[in-house]
Amino acid sequence: MLAGYAHTRRHHKPSGAQIKHLHTEALRGVELVDSVARLCCMNMVLHGIGGDASVPVPVEVKDALAAKGNEFDVVLSNPPFGKKSSVTIVNEAGESSRETLTIHRDDFWATTSNKQLNFVQHIFSTLKQHGRAAVVVPDNVLFEGGAGETIRRELLKQADVHTLLRLPTCIFYAQGVKANVLFFDKKPAREKPWTEKLWIYDLRTNMHFTVKENPLKRADLN
């Protein structure tokens, strides 16, 4: 959120009412974990965004996948990785049961317990027409069969999936994570698939970075 805020201030140089809109309306974030949300809110306040009764910090604490929610022009997201498909529920009597984490939503193309595939569907659903998205996804989103194949086909059809950036390993604190950034634009319905050309940028092969000693820099992306 701060990167999007800084980019907007730097490149578009807003003034007056535009700055007020940027501070009060333009940014929206969703976080499931209370403590992480508090850290995010504190960071936003320290950068001059929100912090009083008239201008609350624009971060909601809720499960983003539970419902569609608002629609946006731009979505930047690094969804949580992992494939846990069930959770243990303990009732007041101490009895435990397993509940599935499979998401059922009418606006989704496929039902799956894969969180990353669900976030890709959710992000597409929350985009306005011609809205743009940049989403960090693990390799399994690109290659998984079944629901994964269904979701990829629909995404290629209903959006212009124009760029895939293969990220190097060791840039996250979880070492060895193979991640990518998927860029796509939502388009209006038509018979012909919108994705006609996909650029793949490989920043992984023969590239080595570390979180502290040799972090990924903007110059590397250039």
Q: Which of 32, 76, 29 is nearest to 50 (CA)?
A: 29
Q: What is the pLDDT of residues 58-76, one digit of tens each?
A: 888 988 898 888 899 999 9
Residue spans of the domains in the chain: they are 1-62, 68-221
User: Residue 167 has which token pair?
Assistant: 């990220």
> How many other C-beta atoms can be found within 10 angstroms of the C-beta atom of residue 27?
20
Whether pLDDT at 199 is above 80: yes
Instruction: Tell me which residue has tokens 């333009």.
Output: 26
Residue 65 region by backbone torsions, left for phi larger than 0, else alpha for psi between -120 and 50, else beta: alpha
Closest CA to 133 of 104, 166, 162, 171: 162
pLDDT (0 to 100) of residue 100: 56
Q: What is the mean pLDDT of the chain?
A: 87
Give the integer Cα–Cα distance in Å for 216 and 222: 11
**What average pLDDT does this structure show over 87-91?**
49
CATH topology of domain 68-221: Rossmann fold (3.40.50)
Q: Report the percent of the chain where pLDDT is more than 90.
A: 50
CA distance 187 to 74: 13
Least confident of 93-97, 148-152, 178-182: 93-97
pLDDT digits (tens, 9 = 90+) for 21-52: 888 888 999 998 899 999 998 998 888 887 66
> Rounded to 10 degrees, what is the CA torsion of 211, 213, 216, 218?
130
